[in-house]
């Protein structure tokens, strides 16, 4: 497989992708496309159990789920890259029907499989030095897997492809929205916040086993709709103070064993 080199500024001007009068350097730091979705928080103090459910490695999983790659898609050729979100459904169908798995999904699959193996070793390790080593390894594998999306979205990367990167974030926003909608169909659960790959759900119950049962039900319902994307229970909070976006405090449940 041959991955195309990035176009030079002059080639972009010749192709009509950008105009001759380049934007000022001050504009470089601004986002070139929409990123992750942040749900508006329902501020307040929650004194009963709150669930935090998280998509495992969301962006790498999306690349696998929809087979997004230079080798399986032709969308990187489009000069009108802003059309990515408008053609969301069409592109999902095209990518899902690709006859062969792309290079990026294959590489990410290897990385995530290795990470799962290392995390299993970490879980059963008893020696402190081994725990530290396995933790460093799994974090490194996670970083490399996530960097695959970063290479697509970074303007100065050799593998920069704005339209595929923007499609990944669009699919991420769609996944978070659907997960929140599904969660709220179960009993009286209320989604009080969400950020990129996580949703926070107020259970309005003070029974830990019941709260966990809600989490498992949501997880099962959401995961049924995907093949490579997995929603997991990340945390259970006994209390939570939600102030605003990206600012909250909570008491985490660290043991699920019943008290005597």
Total structural domains within the chain = 1
Q: pLDDT tens for residues 115-146? A: 999 999 999 999 999 999 999 999 999 999 98
Q: Is residue 4 part of a domain?
A: no
Q: Write the CATH number for 61.
A: 3.90.1600.10
Q: Is residue 11 part of a domain?
A: no
Q: Is residue 77 part of a domain?
A: yes
Q: Is residue 105 part of a domain?
A: yes
Q: CB burial class (10 A; 0-12, 13-18, 19+) of residue 12?
A: middle
Tokens at 132, concatenated = 């530290």
Check: CB of residue 221 under 8 Å from CB of residue 32.
no
Q: Is residue 16 part of a domain?
A: no
Domain, as residue range, for 83: 33-252
Check: CB of residue 177 under 8 Å from CB of residue 42.
no
Residue linked to tokens 């459904």: 89
pLDDT at 203: 95
- The rounded distance, in Å, linking the Cα atoms of 84 and 163 is 6
Q: Is residue 127 part of a domain?
A: yes
The three-state secondary structure class of 201 is strand
- Block means of pLDDT (10 residues each) for the chain, 260 residues, are 60 70 51 85 96 94 91 59 48 55 92 93 93 95 91 84 89 95 93 96 94 95 94 95 95 71
- The rounded distance, in Å, linking the Cα atoms of 191 and 12 is 44
pLDDT at 80: 46
Report H helices in the chain. 9-15, 58-65, 88-96, 103-124, 128-153, 162-183, 208-223
């Amino acid at each position: 497989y041959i991955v195309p080199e990035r176009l030079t500024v002059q080639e972009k001007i010749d192709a009509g992708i950008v105009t001759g009068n380049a934007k000022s350097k001050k504009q470089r730091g601004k986002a070139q496309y929409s990123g992750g979705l942040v749900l508006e928080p329902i501020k307040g103090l929650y004194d009963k159990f709150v669930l935090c459910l998280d998509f495992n490695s969301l962006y790498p999983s999306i690349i696998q789920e929809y087979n997004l790659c230079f080798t399986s898609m032709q969308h990187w050729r489009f000069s009108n890259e802003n059309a990515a979100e408008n053609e969301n459904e069409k592109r999902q169908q095209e990518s899902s029907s690709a006859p062969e798995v792309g290079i990026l999904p294959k590489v990410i699959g290897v990385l995530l499989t290795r990470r799962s193996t290392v995390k299993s070793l970490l879980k059963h390790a008893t020696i402190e030095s081994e725990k530290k080593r396995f933790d460093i390894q799994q974090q490194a594998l996670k970083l490399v897997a996530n960097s695959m999306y970063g290479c697509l979205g970074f303007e100065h990367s050799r593998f920069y492809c704005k339209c595929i990167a923007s499609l990944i974030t669009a699919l991420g926003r769609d996944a978070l929205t659907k997960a929140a909608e599904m969660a709220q169909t179960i009993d009286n659960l209320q989604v009080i916040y969400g950020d990129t790959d996580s949703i926070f759900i107020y259970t309005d119950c003070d029974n830990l086993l019941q709260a966990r049962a809600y989490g498992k039900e949501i997880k099962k319902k959401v995961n049924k709709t995907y093949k490579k994307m997995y929603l997991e229970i990340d945390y259970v909070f006994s209390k939570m103070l939600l102030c605003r976006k990206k600012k909250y405090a909570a008491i985490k449940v660290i043991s699920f064993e019943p008290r005597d």
